[in-house]
Structure 1
Amino acid sequence: MPEKYTISYPAKRVHSDGRVENSEVLLARECAVKIILDGNLFTTLFASPLELKELAVGHLITEGILSFREIENIEVEGSEVRILTRKEKQTPSTEAAGEARKKVQVSKETIVESDSVFDPEALFAGTEHLESAIYRLTRGTHLAALIDRKGKLAIQIVDVGRHNALDKAVGAAFLRGFDLSQHYLLSTGRQPAYMVTKAARAGIPLIATKAMPFDSGVEAAKKTNICLVGQLRKESMLIFSNEWRVKLQPFSKSL
């Protein structure tokens, strides 16, 4: 499967001592994916050329356009994903969708209702899933994973964009019938308000990233009832919001 994510390109490697070598390197592939909603072009996304159904479903959910129960049928034709809804509704144009994505304010209605709490061990277990074979080959992809409360990997997705990886993970979860309120999102990307809000719309109660969040991401997490964890390492992590979602045991004092 790595060959579907990558393509070989010639390049010249120039060394600091003046040596020049011909080389072949693997680059991450990207394609234009058209989402056709009820017969109308909704948007075009640029993503890795796999899991296109998951991408479209997750994107519509995390952008607040549809709920999963409103989807009647999904068909993939080449790089086009055609989705029919159960009820007639006004389909936003591509321009309107673009304007909506520029707005990072968190809606007052976007609140994660889940009361899930996670053991620190379940979060530290996520460090085993932060790197993929595709990343090691290309150094040009992001990863999103969904991990349950026991620390078990449920879904792992690789894409050229951190937002696409999130959309695909959410889409895969809904298509497989997973309960997102009982999972946390593991990400390799930074977390601005936009990313946190997308996760909130999907009902994800906790986000853990190996990167550092933006201040806007922390504020969005506070407002949406999400626990935001940054700089996740095997030996430590930083909790920025709603720390009650992590079972923190008090340190015992030495006598």
Structure 2
Amino acid sequence: MPEKYTTPYPARRIHSDGRAEDTEVLLAKECPVKLFLDGKQFTTLFASPLELKELAVGHLITEGILSFKEIAGVEVEGNEVHILTLKGKHPIQDESSRPAGGETKKQIFVNSDAVFDPEALFEGIAYLESDTYKLTRGTHLAALIDKKGKLAVQIVDVGRHNAVDKVVGAAFLRMIDLSQHYMLSTGRQPAYMVTKAARAGIPLVATKAMPFDSGVEAAKKANLCLVGQLRKESMLVFTNEWRVRI
């Protein structure tokens, strides 16, 4: 599978002692993905060239554009994804006219009573790296873990936000209950990223990185537990601590 995410490129390695040599390295693939809503182009995303249906569905949900029940069908044609909607629900604006940076007028609240044992979070560390990342050092990852620490979905992408969109899309397409899973992410967590997870109904987000202050404030308001610096020996819980059973 990693070979589908990568492509070889020649390079010249220069060492500090003056030696130089020709080599070949694997780089992560990126491609433009065009999203169409009812025949009209909505946006173009730049992402890894796999799981495009999941990307489209997850993006629409995490950006608050459509709910899953408003999607009538999804077809992938090359690097184009065509989404059919149940018309008459509400007007859909292209993304160029929408607020940036995760801004939203509607208050988002995660309606879930899920509580996770610390062991389930520590066990998730095993899923934080992928073979693609080891080969390229140029990808992000998102994963969904259940209360027992079992992996439900793991997806790699060149963009941290794309990886989140893809696991959310995969969860809806596979009918996975997001309210009873937590999400692992390799990326930092500004408000924009936290809001994506909250819109999908995910009650806890854990990252090996550190969140931004905007991410912490967004998580507080959304009833979402935000965990940073997840390590084998410890973690930092920033918001809604009651979701981690002590």
- TM (norm. structure 1) is 0.94
Q: Which of 231, 239, 242 matches 2:240? A: 242
| 2:92 is aligned with 1:91 | yes
Map of 2:170 onto structure 1: 172
2-side partners of 1:94 and 1:122: how far apart?
Answer: 37
1:1-255 equivalent positions in 2, closer than 5 A: 1-88=1-88, 89-96=90-97, 99-100=98-99, 102-248=100-246
1-side partners of 2:166 and 2:228: how far apart?
Answer: 21
**1:107, distance to aligned residue in structure 2 (A):** 4.3
Letter of the 1:159 counterpart: D
**1:103, distance to aligned residue in structure 2 (A):** 4.1
1-side partners of 2:96 and 2:200: how far apart?
Answer: 23
SS state at 2:182 partner: strand
Letter of the 1:55 counterpart: L
**1:173, distance to aligned residue in structure 2 (A):** 0.1
1-side partners of 2:105 and 2:144: how far apart?
Answer: 24
**1:109, distance to aligned residue in structure 2 (A):** 2.8
Letter of the 1:137 counterpart: L
**1:95, distance to aligned residue in structure 2 (A):** 1.8
**1:93, distance to aligned residue in structure 2 (A):** 2.1
Aligned in 2, Cα 1:103/1:13: closer, same or farther, shift over 3 Å? closer
**1:91, distance to aligned residue in structure 2 (A):** 2.3
Contact 2:207 2:229 in 1 (8 A): yes
SS state at 1:151 partner: coil
Letter of the 1:217 counterpart: G
2-side partners of 1:246 and 1:196: how far apart?
Answer: 17
**Structure 1: runs of 5 or more not aligned:** 249-255
1-side partners of 2:7 and 2:107: how far apart?
Answer: 43
Contact 2:11 2:22 in 1 (8 A): yes
Map of 1:251 onto structure 2: none
1-side partners of 2:93 and 2:104: how far apart?
Answer: 20
Provide, for residues 116-148 of structure 1, a one-character-per-residue CA deviation record: whole Å limited to 9, x for no partner. 000000000110000000000000000000000
The percentage of counterpart residues that share the same residue type is 74
2-side partners of 1:77 and 1:232: how far apart?
Answer: 39
SS state at 1:104 partner: coil
Cα RMSD after superposing both structures: 1.0
Contact 1:40 1:91 in 2 (8 A): no
The more displaced of 106-115 and 194-203 is 106-115
**Structure 2: runs of 5 or more not aligned:** none
- TM (norm. structure 2) is 0.98
2-side partners of 1:107 and 1:187: how far apart?
Answer: 26
1-side partners of 2:219 and 2:200: how far apart?
Answer: 13
SS state at 1:200 partner: helix
**1:38, distance to aligned residue in structure 2 (A):** 1.0
Divergent runs of 4+, >6 A: none
1-side partners of 2:235 and 2:105: how far apart?
Answer: 28
Contact 1:145 1:185 in 2 (8 A): yes
Contact 1:32 1:46 in 2 (8 A): yes
Provide, for residues 42-76 of structure 1, a one-character-per-residue CA deviation record: whole Å limited to 9, x for no partner. 10000000000000000000000000000101100
